[in-house]
Amino acid sequence: MSKSNALQFLDIPRFNPEKKRVDIRIQEYAEIYANFDSGRAESQAGRCLHCGNPYCEWRCPVHNYIPNWLQLVSEGNIKEAVEQSHRTNSLPEITGRVCPQDRLCEGACTLNDGLGAVTIGASERYITDTAFDQGWKPDLRHVEATGHQVAVIGAGPAGLSCADVLTRAGVKVTVYDRHPEIGGLLFFGIPEFKLEKSVVKRRRQIFEGMGIEFRLGVEVGRDHPFTSIVDQYDAVFLAMGTYNYMKAGIPGEDLPGVYSALDFLISNVNHCHDFEVESSDYISMEGQRVVVLGGGDTAMDCTRTSIRQKAASVTCAYRRDEANMPGSRKEVVNAREEGVQFLWNQQQVEIVGDGKVEGIKLVTTELGEPDERGRRRPVVIPGSEEIIPADRIIIAFGFRPSPQPWFADFGIEIDERGRVVAPAEAEFKYQTGNNKVFAGGDMVRGSDLVVTAIWEGRQGAEGILDFLGV
């Protein structure tokens, strides 16, 4: 690399993809960020310092070869860049859109200290989108069929990533999912202003072209007995996610007008894509005063969806301050731009109303000593109670696993939190108490990021390959 290129980060500032104007984007369910053109992508990728010990790569849960594919982008070599990207990541066009890069790769970038981190997420998205536009498909001509067959239950990021790795190793994979489309919460939970569903459908076409078979609208244990799957396949990978929402545990939580984040988000996707069973399944916030409880990305998804549903007002209440919220900083910025009001250091104590939601009682907090995870605990300030008027409350505190009643019949153990016990350190990674059954993603780790689910799906596939002797 020449000296001028090595110092490119001094001459070219960080540039974020252009965003749609607020007045336009709140009227539609569509991604708000534009894609880079080739010139912008190459110049931004060229800002990378190619550190000898790249912190971005270590901070990335799938350990993407980030400096390597940034170099290829700067050279205009998309064909090799997309191959490099897929060596560690089964869904790069999706993580490029939904990962909290500010807390992961970009947050760890050496240039993040004053000069502006390299725009890694936008570059990752650019690579795969451009490659697809150029007709790229995975080349599996060298793959030899092993004769083994594996079933994957759950078509979310963990299940899809497991299927990807197994297929590339010559294993025939069939994926079962109870939803009518693949993606799990990628399709039914994440709103389209962050991830348009055409992106997920395009990935389905890629996977089907690789030979992965999808059996959708099938709930294992209800529509299809698990025993027949265990008997039919050489191994099974469970990737069923987390769908039980964490409750607030306060009076009034059962009042009409209180909704879980996931129920709300899924109903909106079903409504927009004609998957509704009944029209009454749609949860509308139009004309309502909405309060969202929580400070993660799911809370931001709920606030911004409510804005697009034309709520009268949308407020987000979080018990810590803005600096200590768990969500992506850019999502908070986007929500604030779109009209969401934030109440920091406010903790819920009661949902009030007579037969329906009429408001929420909050108390002010201040941050005290760190808890066992190192986060400062919110401490209630006495005498600070106040009631905020509201017509609808959305609870976005996260999700817990949904263990199936048939787990015990097949030696699939769960822990005290309902998570499937499938250790990464086992002889065959992510193997459950049943030798033929493996598991990964949120149902093992607990609710987490898309990218961590991808990592565990890929690692689970490696465990299965070792178990099969492939």
Residue 311 scores a pLDDT above 80 = yes
**Residue that finishes a domain, picked among 373, 397, 421:** 397
Quote the tokens at residue 320.
């810590």
Mean pLDDT (whole number) for 391-399: 95
Same domain, 252 and 234: no
At residue 351, the pLDDT reads 98
State the average pLDDT over residues 248-275.
95
Average pLDDT over residues 249-261: 96
Comparing 118 with 399, the larger pLDDT belongs to 118
Q: Percentage of the chain surpassing pLDDT 70?
A: 99
Q: Which residues of 346-381 are buried (b: 16+ CB within 10 A; e: fewer)?
A: bbbebbbbeeebbbbbbbbbebeeeeeeeeeebebe
User: Does position 2 have pLDDT exceeding 50, yes or no?
Assistant: no
**Same domain assignment for residues 382 and 272:** yes
Residue 224: pLDDT above 80? yes
7 or 410, which is more confident? 410
Q: Which residue has the higher pLDDT, 69 or 371?
A: 69
Q: Where are the beta strands (DSSP E) in 37-183?
A: 149-153, 172-177
Average pLDDT, stretch 316-339?
Answer: 93
Residue 141 belongs to some domain of the structure: no
In this structure, the answer to whether residues 38 and 127 fall within a common structural domain is yes
382 located within any domain: yes
Domain count, the chain: 3
> What would the mean pLDDT of 270-298 be, rounded to a whole number?
94
Q: Looking at residue 307, what is its pLDDT?
A: 98
- At 6 the pLDDT is 64
251 and 371, same domain (yes or no): yes
Q: Residue 181: is its pLDDT beyond 50?
A: yes
CATH code where residue 29 lies: 1.10.1060.10
Mean pLDDT value of segment 271-282: 91
Task: Return the pLDDT at 376.
Answer: 84
Q: Indicate if 126 and 257 belong to the same structural domain.
A: no
Pair (252, 166) in one structural domain: no
Shared domain for 182 and 224, answered yes or no, is: yes
Q: How far apart are CA 149 and CA 145, in angstroms?
A: 10
Instruction: Specify whether 452 is located in the same domain as 430.
Output: yes
Residues 283, 385: one domain? yes
Which CATH number covers residue 287?
A: 3.50.50.60
pTM > 0.85: yes
Which residues are CB-neighbours of 426 under 8 A, at least 6 positions away? 463
How far is C-alpha 61 from the chain's CA centre? 13
Residue 415 lies in a domain: yes
Domain limit, last residue, from 77, 105, 133: 133
Q: What is the mean pLDDT of residues 84-99?
A: 97
Q: Mean of the pLDDT values across residues 12-34?
A: 96
C-alpha span between 189 and 310 (Å, rounded): 19
Dump pLDDT digits (tens) for 350-386. Answer: 999 999 999 999 999 998 888 877 778 889 999 999 9
Asked whether residue 4 carries a pLDDT value surpassing 50, the answer given is no
Provide the token pair at 316: 């987000």
> What is the identity of the amino acid at 134?
Q
H helices of 173-260, in order, are: 185-188, 197-210, 226-232
Domain-located, residue 363: yes
Secondary structure letter of residue 269 according to DSSP: H
Q: Which of 372, 397, 422 is the last residue of a domain?
A: 397
Q: Any residues with CB less than 8 A from the CB of 225 and at least 6 apart, and which?
A: none
What is the percent of the chain with per-residue pLDDT over 90, rounded to a whole number? 89
CA distance between the termini of the chain: 41
Domain with 205 in it: 149-243+400-468
Q: What is the mean pLDDT of residues 2-19?
A: 76
- Domain membership of residue 142 (yes or no) is no
Task: Give the pLDDT score at 178.
Answer: 95
Q: Is 144 inside any structural domain?
A: no
- C-alpha span between 272 and 191 (Å, rounded): 10
Domain match, 227 and 348 both? no
Confidence at residue 402, expressed as pLDDT on a 0 to 100 scale:
87
Confidence of residue 338 (pLDDT cuts 50, 70, 90): very high
Mean pLDDT of the 102-122 span: 94
pLDDT at 303 over 50: yes
In this prediction, residues 117-146 reach a mean pLDDT of 97
Judge if 380 and 417 occupy the same domain: no
| 424 closest CA partner among 453, 447, 444, 398 | 444
- The single-letter DSSP state of residue 146 is -
- Residue 5: what pLDDT? 59
Number of helical (H) and strand (E) elements in the chain, helices listed first = 19, 16
Domain presence at residue 182: yes
| 280 & 320 share domain | yes
- For all residues of the chain together, what is the average pLDDT? 95
Evaluate whether residue 268 is within a structural domain.
yes
223/464 Cα distance (integer angstroms): 25
pLDDT at residue 330 tops 50: yes
